[in-house]
Structure 1
């Protein structure tokens, strides 16, 4: 019967089950026989009811990892960032799932944009081939209409239109412009998500970033600051690490 009431590995379940088995008619005012009081060696121990009333036993909390207590906005070196990420993201399945979703979405959009560009180039080539065929037919027809000799074994010269070539180039440039704008928007959204997850080098305090061409002040230790180019390199390196950690 007890197997259907609780899981033996759950201490709280055991205590709740035992409390239901105690005699509800016995109250705190009831007095046990003197024989039980004088001869029961277990009387000095806390009873089941007392144990249940004391509440469930809370498991001892493990101390947080030292690196996890570090403020990620103050990290400016790769070793410190690596330790922090491995003890936070590396041990958090939910965060890994979120990052994996961001990476998958980015790769999906990049493939779609590339395939669409290849399809556009193919359409332009197809349009060019059709125009060349039409030009060839028109040239042959013109020669026949004026009685000029026509050599069927020799292909007629093909006419190309500079206007058409420019139109294709403009069309491709416009597509590339739209893709670039979309990729910037996607990158900003990705960075915003990483900031929300407190990923090092994406939440770096502005006071720790120095412009390359800005002169250092007398009170500033430039060796303890990051330049914008250094920060960009570290961000790219961090993205590679996150991708490795969150691989499916």
Structure 2
């Protein structure tokens, strides 16, 4: 079998992942678990963000009700300390939540990439000596004559495209 770390072309990557799926009885279960975990996290993150937005809306509503009650009692309406949140405060709170969410998403992506690499999925453990920066012209690079055709040099963005294509393929194979 070809070493998945040496594969940088789609046909060979597809052939390799198909063989891995046939030979590893736990492969399908691992991929399905990863997909379920990702979906669970995405739903939790969405619900948490919606709850934050609802909390912000409730704060505004409660503050307006309190001001209305105080005004109807003839009291001079002074906003309660801590309840004078502006739209900018709410936006800043959402932005902070989104930054934390981005960090969590990156952590999940890194963990899943490591798991895919451990499973031997091509493009997730690609040897770094086969990957060059996006500015390089890979066509001009000379490889040894006996270098395998499935192991050509690729750029960072080409590798990212292959990873996305592989994830899409695995999702199609194992979706419920």
Query: Structure 1 stretches of 5 or more lacking a match?
Result: 1-68, 146-160
Deviations 1:38-88 (A, max 9, x none): xxxxxxxxxxxxxxxxxxxxxxxxxxxxxxx11111111111111111122
Indicate the SS of the match to 1:115: helix
Secondary structure at the residue paired with 2:142? coil
Looking at structure 2, the residues matched to 216 and 200 of structure 1 have their Cα atoms a distance apart, in angstroms, of: 20
1:133–1:162: structure 2 CA closer, same or farther, 3 Å change rule? closer
Q: What residue in structure 1 maps to residue 175 of structure 2?
A: 247
In structure 1, which of residues 104, 114, 117 is the aligned counterpart of residue 46 of structure 2?
114
Q: Is 2:132 the partner of 1:210?
A: yes
Out of 103, 122, 125, the residue aligned to residue 57 of structure 2 is 125
Alignment partners' CA distance in 2, 1:90 and 1:170: 50
Separation in 2 of the partners of 1:77 and 1:219?
Answer: 17
| 1:92 matched to 2:13 | no
Q: Which of these residues, 121, 130, 133, is aligned with residue 199 of structure 1?
A: 121
Q: Over aligned residues, Cα RMSD in angstroms?
A: 2.6
Counterpart residue number, 1:79: 11
Instruction: Give the secondary-structure state (helix, strand or coil) at the position aligned to 1:203.
Output: coil
Match of 2:112 among 165, 169, 190: 190
Quick check: 1:177 aligned with 2:109? no
In the other structure, the counterpart of 1:226 is: 154
**Worse overlay, 93-102 or 108-117:** 93-102
Counterpart in the other structure of 2:163: 235
Larger radius of gyration: 1
Q: Does the aligned pair in 2 maintain the 1:72–1:203 contact within 8 Å?
A: yes
- Aligned residues, how many? 163
Rate the CA distance shift 1:137–1:201 in 2: closer, same or farther, 3 A: same
Q: TM-score, normalised by structure 1?
A: 0.58
* Structure in which a larger fraction of residues adopt helix: 2
Distance 2:170 2:22 in 1: 9
Q: TM-score, normalised by structure 2?
A: 0.80
